[in-house]
Amino acid sequence: MISYDSFILDNGLKVFVHQDFSTPTAAVNIVYNVGSRDEEEHKTGFAHLFEHLMFGGSKNIPSYDTPLQKVGGENNAFTSPDITNFYISLPAVNLETAFWLESDRMMALSFDQKVLDVQQKVVIEEFKQRYLNQPYGDVWLKLRPLAYQVHPYRWATIGKEISHIENAVMDDVRNFFYKHYLPNNAILVVAGPVQVEEVKQLAKKWFEPIPAGKLTPRNLPKEPIQTSARFLEVEAKVPSDALYKVYHTKGRHEGDFNAIDLASDILGRSKSSRLYNQLVKENHIFNSVNAYVTASLDPGLLIIQGNLNKGVSIEEGDAAVQAVLDEFLKNPVSEEELQKVKNQAESTLVFSEVELLNRAMNLAFAANAGNVEYVNQESGKIQAVTVDDISTQSQLILKKENCSTMYYRAG
């Protein structure tokens, strides 16, 4: 259980405080309720670009990292389709430095053209290195638009194409900032050896003067139910052939999500999973194979992916995966098998809460999803999953007509 206190500032900023006096370090996490799903189809990659721009100087602070490093702090950030997250770890005695830095860039970026120019080049280079010039790097640039037809999950967080970042102008940047980077569109979590009243006074001092903005209601298109199998074949200079199969499934906090998550664990989480046992260990068809879910806020995907051994065709690999799935759907999962993946999931959950920063993040993500108590309900949801739940959800999800398959051939 992660304990917390909370309050809301007059400008709508929600603040959560998690006390832990066993460490001298404090963690400060701000999640903005904006990700790549909030972008326009012809202006993608902006949420990720903004993650970079937020370190390029704000209204009163030309260099974000310098003052933080002087007080022994470190920071980072990441963007997903659903959120943009910024976090700081620093000695608790210097907590106010984090409030000063984060509030200044929430209030206003510097909107310096030189900063935009530099960060555009950085993101473009990242696009090339990680997605275009790396083996299998473009997989999700191809798989997302195959699986999603209308929902903005159909483009990657980095963007749909480089030109969208290249063509970004300062007006685009300003509009995106003042639309999404608002106190009433953010969650602030402070964790560590702190007093609630101390955090409240700091929050009022540094964040409450920032005016609330007008929030635009999120009205994303709902992905229609997939009614027929989809297929894509590509070829590139990669070490070996690879197979990708994705199935539409539920959002992170929808009912039965945990049953789907555990089903993916049974299929391909570890070296004792069904796919690995049968296709890597026993039959030597794949040299690696796994299964997992995206756990996105809107309906996501269950993914099966594997790299084929030399001399084995993708068609053979696909048929072998389907045989494992057919067996999985035909024969009920045993209580022992289910308990094993429950134990694995519980272990992951427990270890995720060892680090103070992870606890702060988990609180922020749950609060952003609409109910901070999600953070303390996960264990109960995992244990509540039954064999029948696994069977029911697998029958619904792992249908051939709900599958998008990509053959990635080594050229």
> Which of the residues are catalytic?
51
The answer to whether 134 touches 401, Cβ cutoff 8 Å, is: no
CA distance 324 to 237: 29
Q: How many residues appear in the chain?
A: 411
Hey, what are 294's tokens?
């995206």
Q: Which residue has the tokens 């790299």?
A: 307
The two three-digit tokens of residue 354, written as one number: 């060892």
| Alpha carbon distances (Å) from 71 to 5, 20, 74, 91, 162 | 26, 20, 9, 8, 37
Whether the CB-CB separation of 127 and 162 falls below 8 Å is answered with: yes
Distance CA 392, CA 332 (A): 10
List of residues 6+ apart from 333 with CB closer than 8 A:
263, 266, 387, 390, 391
Name the E strands within 12-59: 14-19, 25-32
Token pair 């430095």 is found at 97
What is the number of other CB atoms lying within 10 angstroms of the CB of residue 384?
12
Give the CA diameter of the chain. Answer: 66
Phi, psi of 288 (to 5 degrees): -155, 145
Separation CA 100–CA 95 (nearest Å): 9
